[in-house]
Amino acid sequence: MDFFDLAPFAPFLMVVGIVWVRSRAKLEEKRIEAGLIDNGKGDERRENRIGELEERVRVLERIVTSGGYDLANRIEALRDDTDTVRTGRQPARQF
C-alpha cells in the first residue's frame, strides 16, 4: 500500500483526532473543577487523618517511654489484637 492509497482516509482521521482532543480537554477540565471543588473537603479529611496519626504517635511514645515494660510482649499483644480483628478468632496463647 502506498501513501496515496491511504489519502482518502485523511479527513476521517482528522475528524477522529479532533473529537479525541476535544473530549480529552473536556475531561481534563472536569478533573480540574472536581479538584477545586473537592479541596475544601479534602483539607478537612486530611486534617482529621493527621490528628488521628498524631494521636497514634503519642500512644506509641507513651508505650516506649513508660518504665517497667516488656516491649516485645506489648508488640506481640498488639499483633494478636490485629489478628483477632482480621480473622475473628482468638490466637493461641503461649505460656
For residue 60 the three cell numbers come to 506509641
Q: What is the pLDDT of residues 35-78, one digit of tens each?
A: 765 555 667 888 899 999 999 998 888 877 776 557 777 777 88
Residue 6 has pLDDT above 70, yes or no: yes
Q: What is the pLDDT of residue 33?
A: 82
Distance of CA 64 to CAs 8, 55, 60, 76, 81, Å?
76, 14, 6, 14, 19
8 — pLDDT class (breaks 50, 70, 90): confident
Q: What is the pTM of this model?
A: 0.35
pLDDT at 95 over 50: no
